[in-house]
Amino acid sequence: MRFTILLLAITAALCFNVSGCRDPEVTTYRVAKETPPAASAAAKGPAAAGPATMANTPVPTADGESLTWTAPAHWQAKPATAMRKGSYAVPTDGGPPADLSITAFPGDVGGEPANINRWRGQIQLSPASDADLTTAITRFENSGLTFAVVDFENGQQRVLGAIIPFRGSTWFVKLTGPATELTKEKPAFLTFLKTVKPPSTP
Amino acid sequence: MNPAVRSVRDFFVSLGLTVVLLALSLILVFASTLAQVDLGIYAVQEEFYRSFIAIWHVGGIFIPLPGGYLVGGLLLINLLSAHIYRLKLEWRKAGIQLTHSGLIVLLLGELFTGLWQEDFQMTISEGDTKNYSESFRLYELAVIDTTDPKMDEVVAIPDSKLAGAALVQHPKMPFRVATKAYFPNTTLARRDAAALSPAAAAVPVATRGIGSSVAVTPLPLTYKMNEMNVPSAVVELIGDEGSLGSWLVSPHLGAPQTLSHAGRTWRLELRIARAYKPFSLQLLKVTHDVYVGTDLPKNFSSRIKLTTPDGHDDREVLIYMNNPLRYGGYTFFQYQMDSSRGQTGLQVVRNPSWLLPYIACIMMTFGLLLQFGLSLRAFIAKRRTTAKPAVV
């Protein structure tokens, strides 16, 4: 009898207390002053929430010759990382800066549709069919390179992207940020793409 | 014994319950594995294993399942009851008793880990010193009294309290904090930049600070491993003589906001939740070796200087893969590395019950060895008595 009561008491205690124990409480403490950070890690966006994880780093990026480019003066260069060949913060009016990344990987990395749909997924858009993508891609050639340019938005976020095959690798240029700000930035992005050249091109 | 009580006892003691619970565990593992595709590992752990009831979304259908705590808790009770009522304390059963006790310790270990484990990270740049780690996904509203020129007095309000829309009051704050709106994942833009979306227009506008010129757009929660939800909240501060105004707080905002009240200066910051340590770590050097001629990582290591304010400890430590720093109840694992930026990411884990799984495994190993040993001895003894000497 006593044992049954004990069992029921344990069950009840578990049910009522387990979730309670895990709720964080208000805490107070005194710390030596620190300089307030200019921007917190999260403010720089999910990609900058921390350095590239080790799980990511073994992915081989394309080696060999690198494309060259000239970034607009108002873009702020960020240090390249193990994954990024180039990285820029594109200032916006008051909001968090838009993020421009230049990456390169060997092969075709799954092809254009898979990569474009991956970008669509990053701003919560459903995958587009191949037929839709054919009309969505703007193509042009410059300095001996072919550019496949896309532009998607979900009302708040926008992605301007370009896929550039180059000597057995595929280069990706992606600008992500607030939709309205990128509307203003698009001409600068397209001008920037025109500066992307193979290394030997003068 | 009262028949009703006996039936309850029989229910908990029965082997049938064990089988049903093990079957339910299989279903739970199957469902949670599939759910991980959409929810990611952390949400699955919380919703399926660290809960009493799990809801599995299949298409548009919601299937309720018993959660990990319910199945594990009942298994624990079942095992304890069986121990007391069915298994007699005798030398012959010592192996089974020990094995079952190991299983009980294992189940309790997982419960305590779920309750007490802290899993944070610490990102340090070369030359920088840090004495706090940051959560992977929790945020806090830090209300900081910055009046003292040397020290800051911090009241940290967890985001779960803000989300609950509770009125937060604390003796260290001369005002109360009331949540007017809280969104667990958001993006910000300038308010005058364009016509507001309906979702953004529905968010109350802050009356003080930079928030009055910022539009908040709520976003769906993300469960991806490489993305973080970034919350925003509009909080109203209420002093003795009424409202002091409302502020928009968000990690998206570049700089923290300040206010003066009752002769003191305060700073408001919604930031990643911090856990301060009674010691500090300075990153001296990061090393990222690759195999020659490839980009494949060979070794990540961080040379750290560990110091305590009282000067008791002041030493250099090398942290690398599979060689964490264990100090003050915390374990610092080499977790991330960005050598181009001279930055290291350490995973900081505190788990007071970390020894329990090891103890459980040792108990179960010895229990099984003992049980098999005893059975073997009995078997050999039986063979000896039954084997008749050959008659020549």
A63 pLDDT more than 80: no
**Rounded to an integer, what distance in angstroms lies between the CA atom of residue B315 and that of residue B323?**
16
| A31 lies in some domain | no
Which two tokens mark A52?
A: 């590239």
Q: A146: domain range?
A: 61-194
Task: Report the domain count for chain A.
Answer: 1
CA distances from B65 to A53, B23, B30, B44, B372 (A): 34, 12, 11, 13, 37
Give mean pLDDT, residues B244-257. 84
When comparing pLDDT for A1 and B329, which is higher?
B329
A-chain residue closest to B188, CA distance:
A95
Which residues of chain A make contact with B9, given a CB cutoff of 8 A?
3-4
In the predicted model, what is the mean pLDDT of chain B? Answer: 87
Distance, CA of B213 to CA of B189 (rounded, Å): 9
CA pseudo-torsion sign B188, B193, B199, B205: positive
Tell me which residue in A8, A46, A180 faces B194 most closely, judged by beta carbons.
A180
Residue B266 and residue B208: Cα distance in Å, rounded?
14
Q: What is the pLDDT of residue A82?
A: 63
Is residue A44 pLDDT above 60, yes or no?
Answer: no
pLDDT band of A52, cuts 50, 70, 90:
very low
In one letter, which amino acid is B213?
A: S
Q: What is the mean pLDDT of residues A66-87?
A: 81
Chain A from 13 to 72: CB within 8 A of any B CB: 14-15, 18, 21-34, 36, 38-43, 46-47, 49-54, 56-58, 60-61, 63
Q: Is B318 helix (H, G, I), strand (E, B) or coil?
A: strand
**Interchain proximity B341–A38, CB inside 8 Å:** no
Q: Is the pLDDT of residue B347 over 90?
A: yes
DSSP reduced 3-state for A58 = coil
Largest CA distance in chain A: 91
Contact assessment for residue B23 and residue B43, using Cβ atoms and an 8 Å cutoff: no
Neighbour-count burial for B208-223, b at 16+ CB within 10 Å, e otherwise: bbbbeebbbbbbeebb
More confident: B137 or B235: B235
Tokens for B334? 């080499």
Q: Which two tokens stand for residue A107?
A: 């092969």
Chain-centroid distance of CA A11 in Å reads: 46
Write the single-letter amino acid at B26: L
**In the beta sheet, which residues pair with residue A154?**
none
CATH number of A111's domain: 3.40.1000.10
- A160-190 pLDDT, tens digit per residue, is 999 999 887 889 999 998 888 888 889 899 9
pLDDT in tens, B129-148: 999 999 988 899 999 998 88
In chain B, % of residues over pLDDT 90: 42
**A1 domain-assigned:** no
* Pure H helices in B255-390: 356-386
**What are the tens digits of pLDDT across the range A5-17?**
555 555 555 554 5
pTM over the 0.90 mark:
no
Residues 196-215 of B with CB under 8 A from A: 197, 200, 213-214
